[in-house]
Amino acid sequence: MKVIEVTHPIREDQFIQEDVAMAFGFFDGMHRGHDQVFQALEERARAGQLKKAVMTFDPHPSVVLNPERKRTDYLTPISDKIDILQHYDIDYCIVINFSSKFASVSAETFIQDYIIKNHVKEVVAGFDFTFGKYGKGNMMILQEMEDFNTTIVGKQEMDSEKISTTAIRQALKDGDLQKANEQLGYRYRIKGTVVQGEKRGRTIGFPTANVQPSDDYVFPKKGVYAVSMLLGSSNKLYRGVANVGVKPTFHDPSQAQVVIEVNLFDFNENIYGERVEVYWHHFLRPEIKFDGIDPLVEQMNKDTEQAKYLLSVDFNDDVSYNI
């Protein structure tokens, strides 16, 4: 897949030079709703014997358009999004830097410079995709164009609720991993690097890997989770318990930074500097402050037993992206 990073105005040498079917959207989460867009893209490309392309944007438009409610953390940061697109055998991925200059582009200019000049013969997007200054461009306008065909993908639902990035983000914030993972169509993951921590866990029998996220991910609700973690060096998956939070038994919650710590079962290796991926299976309990080390250790033993049981039921060594 060829990735083309564009800062407005798009240059002549950045235009796609062969006829394509192109999907448009921000696609944070690459969830089941987005999958319907990519399935439609596959069908239109095959029918027209076209190459497949995707146009997406970075950062989220709210950074420019709605700074009071800007979204700066993501389910799938741009690097993850590009990795997942590889699974759809996309030929071209255009990543538009969503800047103030790009936000001021008129709908007419967007159609001419970003669709027609890119040899787009089939446009595919969700029903709520908008473009151009003030979001004046929409899918109905594109359907009226004669230079290309337009396919509108309707609302996708699960349990009578729209599948959406917003719903998945809220589910993670609520600790509802089942809902988040079902709407995603795969297990939520956070990539990162194991860094030096306080090393307190090893003194109480629970050595942990302090995972520094590699990008601006959405953090699940503060609490304790049953997880699995993929070690990059061995490409091997291990089961464990993760804590997301500020460790209130040891720190002032108002002063401490939220961190991710993972205790792997039956594991005793030095993995500082390792690139890892944490997969989130089950929410066990909220993070709480304990009255000393002993009750904390007692609860951690209970967490471990509960996590081992839950992971024995649903653990799967195949962690590849799979809708």
Closest CA to 218 of 156, 165, 162: 165
Within 13 Å of residue 181, how many CA atoms lie on the same side as its CB? 19
Q: How many domains does the chain have?
A: 2
Percent of the chain with pLDDT strictly greater than 70: 92
Owning domain of residue 242? 162-314
320 domain residue, yes or no: no
28 domain residue, yes or no: yes
On whether both 98 and 187 belong to a single domain, the answer is: no
Give the contacts of 305 (CB within 8 A, at least 6 positions apart): none
* Average pLDDT for 23-37: 98
List pLDDT tens digits, range 176-196.
999 999 999 999 999 999 998
Phi, psi of 71 (to 5 degrees): -105, 110
- The token pair that represents 238 in the structure block: 């291990």
Residue 74: give its domain's CATH number: 3.40.50.620
Q: Is the pTM of this model over 0.95?
A: no
Tracing tokens 């993760």 back to the chain, one arrives at: 242
Closest CA to 4 of 102, 93, 134, 104: 93
Q: Which of 131, 155, 179 is the last residue of a domain?
A: 155
> By the 8 A CB rule, do 225 and 187 touch?
no
Rounded to the nearest integer, the mean pLDDT of the chain is: 92
323 domain residue, yes or no: no
> By the 8 A CB rule, do 297 and 204 touch?
yes
Pick the more confident residue, 295 or 227. Answer: 227
Instruction: Count the Cβ atoms, other than its own, within 10 Å of residue 158.
Output: 15
On whether both 149 and 212 belong to a single domain, the answer is: no
On whether both 29 and 140 belong to a single domain, the answer is: yes
pLDDT at 251 over 70: no
On whether both 235 and 283 belong to a single domain, the answer is: yes
On whether both 172 and 151 belong to a single domain, the answer is: no
